[in-house]
């Protein structure tokens, strides 16, 4: 009797864990009001302050929504996500995003991507403050909205 109960509980736990692993989902474009132009939202950026003597990386968590799902590329040399450091001498860094949907399909998707911006440069001897702008481009050449981070302090 206990073995049947144990097997049932184990099966339920397995089913729940499999269902919770979905990182992207198909959404109804009409209900969500999404177009073929991607939409992004900055969910988090951390840490809020960097001490370059200890760390030089920032982490961004960005939600994406796309009506036709043509985000990412097969070719790793292709860039589709761009983060711009808004200091006067700041640079734009491009990132590869892998294919998020098969290239021959048109299915609405949404999900999250975690980006690590490494090697943040100190541009002066003083404590600096900056913010970042993020934008995404799909395979059709449609640009997303631009999202802006909160201010980040960069300590010497």
- Report pLDDT digits (tens) over 112-137: 999 999 988 777 888 899 999 999 99
pTM as predicted = 0.75
Q: How many domains does the chain fold into? A: 1
pLDDT the model gives residue 33: 55
Per-residue pLDDT tens over the stretch 8-55:
433 333 333 333 333 444 444 444 555 789 999 999 999 988 887 777
Adjacent-strand bridge partners of 95: 81
35 within domain boundaries = yes
Q: What is the mean pLDDT of residues 4-11?
A: 42
Helix or strand (DSSP H, E) at 6: helix 2-19
Flag whether 140 is in a domain: yes
Domain assignment present for residue 37? The answer is: yes
Residue 16 in domain: no
Q: What is the CATH number of the domain that holds 93?
A: 2.60.40.770
Does residue 22 belong to any structural domain of this protein?
no
Report d(CA 79, CA 68) in Å as an integer: 19
Q: Residue 84: inside a domain, yes or no?
A: yes
On whether residue 32 sits in a domain, the answer given is yes
CA angle 136, 138, 141 (to 5 degrees): 105
Looking only at Cα atoms, what is the longest distance across the chain? 72
d(CA 36, CA 142): 8
119 in a structural domain: yes
Domain containing 53: what range? 27-155
73-122 pLDDT tens trace = 999 999 999 999 999 988 999 999 999 888 788 889 999 999 999 988 77
- Split at pLDDT 50, 70, 90, the class of 155 is confident
């Amino acid at each position: 009797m206990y073995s049947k109960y144990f097997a049932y509980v184990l099966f339920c736990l397995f089913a729940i864990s499999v269902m919770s692993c979905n990182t992207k989902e198909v959404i109804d474009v009409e209900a969500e009001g999404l177009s073929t132009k991607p939409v992004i939202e900055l969910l988090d950026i951390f840490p809020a302050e960097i001490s370059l003597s200890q760390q030089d990386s920032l982490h961004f968590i960005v939600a994406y929504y796309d009506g036709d799902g043509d985000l990412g590329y097969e070719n790793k040399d292709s860039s589709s996500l761009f983060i711009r450091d808004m200091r006067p001498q700041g640079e734009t860094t491009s990132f590869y995003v892998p294919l998020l949907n098969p290239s021959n399909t048109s299915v609405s998707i949404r999900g999250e991507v975690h980006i690590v911006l490494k090697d943040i440069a100190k541009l002066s001897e003083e404590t600096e403050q900056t913010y970042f702008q993020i934008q995404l481009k799909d395979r059709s050449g449609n640009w997303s909205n631009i999202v802006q981070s909160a201010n980040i302090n960069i300590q010497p």
